[in-house]
Structure 1
Amino acid sequence: MDTTHEMLEITGQATATLPVGDAHSPITVIGNQTIRESFGGETFRQAINSRLAPGVSRVVLNPDAHVGYGAPVGCVMASPTHIYPGPVGVDIKCSMSLLQTDVPAEEIASHTVRRKLIQAIAKRVPTGPGRGQRHAPKSRRVDGSLGFRVATEGASKLVLKKLGIPKAWADRCEDSHHTAPDDTADTLAARLEWMGRERDKLNRIESKYRQLGSYGGGNHFGEAEVVQLSQDPIYRAIAQQWGLREGAVAFLSHCGSRGFGHDLAMNQFRSLKSSFQKQGLAFPAGDPQLVYAEANSSAGQQYLCDMAMGANFATVNHLLINALVLESFQDVFPGVRGELIYFISHNIARQEPLDGQTQWVHRKGATRAFPAGHSQLVGTEFEKTGHPILLPGNPRDGSSVMVALPGASQSAFSVNHGAGRQMSRTKAKKHLSQTAIDQDLIDHDIISNCRVFPRDEAPDAYKDFNQVMSSVTEAGLAAEVASLKAKFVLKDGAPADD
């Protein structure tokens, strides 16, 4: 075991702190003993580097934490003054969304019916890196003009109308739109116009617009679920108030800003690294992946504009996917109705009140967890309950819908974003058995769109979701209001890399 574990100060059944010196507050660690032992030395090293970086006031390690880009995936990093692109990542506003239908679970018991649903969705929603509308004959067509509005306006009424997305769904978003630091969309529009000033650059941007309404590769997925509400009467009532339905089919999605957000992020990393090198500035802990800018500087403002545009794209991408999935269900079950339960990010930096001041709260593979009465929920339909938290586990072991508790304050009002990897993709491909993976899903009555399920995305490549969830509840951060049991999965359908 890494010696860093010996430095941990255990403060509760599933909480600990990691001291980083007298001049800095310690890192908050969420996880029971099993989970704490899953954190490798490199994860702790990245967390310490992040805590000691300029302007950083607080770092939290969630139970799904593992090595990431500069900062660990599964961490929270707060700063009142500085913005860090690494703890946002290259998939700006990678997120979760959940669509609740009124289809009873028994209606999709048949593999034949499930295959029809998979085929109907595939006609509308492509999967895999680089894939867009031309791979799905029933997708929405997005031209340059509409793509521009998506990036600069987010889920505006006009964008929703043009894409055929119910306008009420915007109210079920963590953030339905993002603006420039001056609170306008005009500044975003001016920057995007400047980015597309050359024909080849404009062509590339517009090609990325055409990925709207699609899943990427890797850990992105769509999953049909059967909803099981909590037996606790308080949490069951909250689930019902949100619109969750016992024994009905829901659809869980995980994706982000696709190639559009990736290009924005990579351009920012290159620009900021170059600026550091030209000025002779030192990277935190010598790690260029922890490059930063003061939020009110020119570089910081440009990054925030680009992050906002990537986030707008991700928001509309999710809403469009859900609209297309609902249409697909209606192909198989005419008259079916569906409502968006929530859309929530886990790769974003947001300004929030924290520790008595407004701070940039960076969530890198971490999910916002505001309980009832939080100031940023005032005036929303979630003011008296807290908002839904969507936590994907894995197809075999299920996923969860939770609600934050007041104890979430200890983790910067954040929880994990899923199970978290315990095996690298390379290790999973090398050591996990394809036959065992596919048989495991068959044994649990789960089918997919893939010829063989990706080995690097197998349930056993991830941490024990039950231990992760236990850590969240034992720490008093959140409570489960419903569990989700997978019936079919959509992943990148490319052949396995043998």
Structure 2
Amino acid sequence: MGSIKTKELSKIGYTNDQARSLVINIIAKHFKHHDKKALLQMLIEIKADPGKYLSNSVLGKIAATFLDEPVACHFQTYELLERSGYLKVYGGAGIERSAKQQMEVAMSLPVTVQGALMPDAHTGYGLPIGGVLAADQAVLPFAVGVDIGCRMALTIFDEGESFLKRFSYQIKMALKTYTHFGMEGGLNFPQEHNVLDSPVFQSTDLLKKLQLKAARQLGSSGSGNHFVEFGLIEMREGNALQLPPKKYLALLSHSGSRGLGAAIAEYYTRIAMSTCKLPKSAQQLAWLDLHSEAGQEYWLAMNLAGDYAKACHDRIHANLLKALGLQSLATIENHHNFAWEDTLADGKTVIIHRKGATPAHAGEWGIIPGSMCSAAYLVTGKGAEHSLYSASHGAGRAMSRKKAKENMTVSGMKKILASAGVTLIGGSVEESPVAYKNIETVIAAQHDLVDIQGKFMPAIVRMNKD
């Protein structure tokens, strides 16, 4: 058993980068425990007689690379359309005009099938934050975002308010010792996770160069609105976790794929914008054809970044649980900067991009945070088709970071924290609670999208210091 290297694939005639990327991805997902010799022999047979394997749901994609030349990503110029698909806006009264305009531009792309705008939406780069876009066999790097795989993770413990009060000092010390925030650096002690052994790191030159940095930053968090916090979650009567309806101690984290995701986003956005020419208003929405070499590579790298972001949360939670001697009752987690292959109600297969939006298929778990002083909601999706099976990813910003800095003082923020009974370690006025929309208003605007299962209130919060 063992992973197959690109050199070994070249030796048996897999000289095309698209084919090699596909093979490494498929083997990692479906054949990681199979014998290497048998796998190489199977790949030789696929190349020799690709038609024989075309109907195979897993191997057919590999076979197809030997029947047709890969579709080159040589886009010329595309004109915007009047409107490419149906757009549903939730909580429109609380969404700034510029974010709606950005979404309208995205709806004019020739590859757009359907769109939705969540009630926490605000202006971003390319697609607005809170924008959801279904595209036809295309992936838009800037509709995924720079922080690929940015996500939430919530662990619930069989402890309550008494633990929080009794051990608040130990919790603060654990947060200071076992978390790291900022653009660079990482934890002062080694972290291990099987994501670092993924063969996908060997699939492209870019990913090979990023593997060491990923190892160094594992278990750490970024800057901005990323956080790790302890608080109390009150579970609703009849919740889907079947936990007794009472208050539990909980750990909530928000972070993404660190330098790995940022480098992937930058690299493939540059390729998309240089090969897919669009009018100036839509330049940042350039896409990669999923059948192109660059499209296949981005998809592979994006999924690796998502796995890595999950690994960072895994380590954050494991480190803090061990430090505080806590046992988990349940862990809920979800991405909110990612793209997924999905099927619409009419049976059409599309790529759904959620840039600051929570997946909300029927029964699917999600976490929607507010600010450092307001509630986060544990929810399950209702599977609403018009929202593209999505919900908001938070309260959303009411002020830009620049405006928040101009309108809030450190002493003013401390008063808000004190009145809410929240302890902040690090943090900056850019993330002041007043910089965010009212989470209750945002949640009320998506009654048709999610069911509330629990309400979390932060108590001890760790963020990056400005």
- Structure 2: distance between partners of 1:292 and 1:314: 23
Within 5 Å, which residues of 2 pair with 1:92-131?
92-109=148-165, 113-131=167-185
In the alignment, does 2:370 pair up with 1:393? yes
How far residue 244 of structure 1 moved from its aligned partner, in angstroms, is 7.6
Letter in 2 for 1:343: E
User: Is the 8 Å Cα contact of residues 38 and 422 (structure 1) preserved in structure 2?
Assistant: no
Within 5 Å, which residues of 2 pair with 1:203-218?
205-218=211-224
In the alignment, does 2:358 pair up with 1:367? yes
Distance change in 2, residues 1:250/1:23 (3 Å):
closer
In the alignment, does 2:373 pair up with 1:433? no
Within 5 Å, which residues of 2 pair with 1:44-63?
44-63=100-119
Query: Which residue is equivalent to 1:448?
Result: 424
Distance change in 2, residues 1:23/1:287 (3 Å):
closer
Q: Which moved more, 1:92-101 or 1:259-268?
A: 259-268
- Structure 2: distance between partners of 1:392 and 1:44: 22
Letter in 2 for 1:404: G
Query: Which residue is equivalent to 2:203?
Result: 191
How far residue 342 of structure 1 moved from its aligned partner, in angstroms, is 1.4
Letter in 1 for 2:434: D
- Structure 2: distance between partners of 1:229 and 1:339: 13
Query: Which residue is equivalent to 1:294?
Result: 289
For the residue of structure 2 that corresponds to 1:123, the secondary structure is helix
Letter in 2 for 1:30: Y
- Structure 2: distance between partners of 1:337 and 1:245: 19
Letter in 1 for 2:295: G
How far residue 267 of structure 1 moved from its aligned partner, in angstroms, is 1.3
Correspondence for 1:342 among 332, 336, 345: 332
Identity %: 28
- Structure 2: distance between partners of 1:340 and 1:210: 28
In the alignment, does 2:314 pair up with 1:319? yes
How many pairs align? 386
Correspondence for 2:344 among 342, 349, 354: 354
Correspondence for 1:70 among 126, 130, 133: 126
Query: Which residue is equivalent to 1:4?
Result: none
User: Is the 8 Å Cα contact of residues 227 and 245 (structure 1) preserved in structure 2?
Assistant: no
Letter in 2 for 1:127: F
Letter in 2 for 1:214: S
Query: Which residue is equivalent to 1:28?
Result: 88
In the alignment, does 2:314 pair up with 1:258? no
The higher relative CO (CA closer than 8 Å, separation ≥ 6) is in 1
In the alignment, does 2:450 pair up with 1:478? yes
Task: Please list the CA deviations of residues 183-226 of structure 1 after superposition, one character each: whole Å capped at 9, or x if unmatched.
Answer: xxx5x24424x3366xxxx3x54133211101111010011121
Query: Which residue is equivalent to 2:432?
Result: 458
Query: Which residue is equivalent to 2:381?
Result: 404
Query: Which residue is equivalent to 1:274?
Result: 274
* Structure 1 vs Structure 2 CA RMSD: 2.1
In the alignment, does 2:466 pair up with 1:489? no
Task: Please list the CA deviations of residues 288-343 of structure 1 after superposition, one character each: whole Å capped at 9, or x if unmatched.
Answer: 3111111111121111111122112111111111111211221xxxxx31144211
Letter in 1 for 2:171: L
How far residue 21 of structure 1 moved from its aligned partner, in angstroms, is 8.1
For the residue of structure 2 that corresponds to 1:92, the secondary structure is coil
- Structure 2: distance between partners of 1:247 and 1:360: 39
For the residue of structure 2 that corresponds to 1:127, the secondary structure is coil
Query: Which residue is equivalent to 2:400?
Result: 424
Query: Which residue is equivalent to 2:195?
Result: 150
Query: Which residue is equivalent to 1:248?
Result: 248
Task: Please list the CA deviations of residues 146-190 of structure 1 after superposition, one character each: whole Å capped at 9, or x if unmatched.
Answer: 6xx51564xxxxxxxxxxxxxxxxxxxxxxxxxxxxxxxx5x244
User: Is the 8 Å Cα contact of residues 234 and 247 (structure 2) preserved in structure 1?
Assistant: yes
How far residue 403 of structure 1 moved from its aligned partner, in angstroms, is 1.5
Correspondence for 1:87 among 117, 134, 143: 143
User: Is the 8 Å Cα contact of residues 201 and 207 (structure 2) preserved in structure 1?
Assistant: no
User: Is the 8 Å Cα contact of residues 151 and 312 (structure 1) preserved in structure 2?
Assistant: no
Query: Which residue is equivalent to 2:26?
Result: none
Distance change in 2, residues 1:248/1:413 (3 Å):
same
How far residue 284 of structure 1 moved from its aligned partner, in angstroms, is 4.9
User: Is the 8 Å Cα contact of residues 229 and 239 (structure 1) preserved in structure 2?
Assistant: no
For the residue of structure 1 that corresponds to 2:441, the secondary structure is helix
Correspondence for 1:229 among 227, 235, 259: 235
Letter in 2 for 1:464: N
- Structure 2: distance between partners of 1:244 and 1:90: 39
Distance change in 2, residues 1:120/1:389 (3 Å):
same
For the residue of structure 2 that corresponds to 1:412, the secondary structure is coil
How far residue 65 of structure 1 moved from its aligned partner, in angstroms, is 0.5
- Structure 1: distance between partners of 2:256 and 2:83: 37
Query: Which residue is equivalent to 1:333?
Result: none
How far residue 123 of structure 1 moved from its aligned partner, in angstroms, is 1.7
- Structure 2: distance between partners of 1:350 and 1:196: 21
Letter in 2 for 1:262: A
Task: Please list the CA deviations of residues 400-427 of structure 1 after superposition, one character each: whole Å capped at 9, or x if unmatched.
Answer: 1112225x22201100000001100000
For the residue of structure 1 that corresponds to 2:185, the secondary structure is coil
Task: Please list the CA deviations of residues 272-291 of structure 1 after superposition, one character each: whole Å capped at 9, or x if unmatched.
Answer: 22334xxxxx2255433111
- Structure 2: distance between partners of 1:129 and 1:115: 27
How far residue 467 of structure 1 moved from its aligned partner, in angstroms, is 0.5
Task: Please list the CA deviations of residues 440-477 of structure 1 after superposition, one character each: whole Å capped at 9, or x if unmatched.
Answer: 11111110212xx411101110111111011011xx11
User: Is the 8 Å Cα contact of residues 360 and 380 (structure 2) preserved in structure 1?
Assistant: yes
Letter in 1 for 2:256: G
How far residue 59 of structure 1 moved from its aligned partner, in angstroms, is 1.0
Letter in 2 for 1:479: D
Query: Which residue is equivalent to 2:190?
Result: 140
User: Is the 8 Å Cα contact of residues 151 and 309 (structure 1) preserved in structure 2?
Assistant: no
Letter in 2 for 1:206: L
How far residue 245 of structure 1 moved from its aligned partner, in angstroms, is 6.5
Gaps of 5+ in 2: 1-79
- Structure 2: distance between partners of 1:304 and 1:432: 41
Task: State the structure with more CA Rg.
Answer: 2
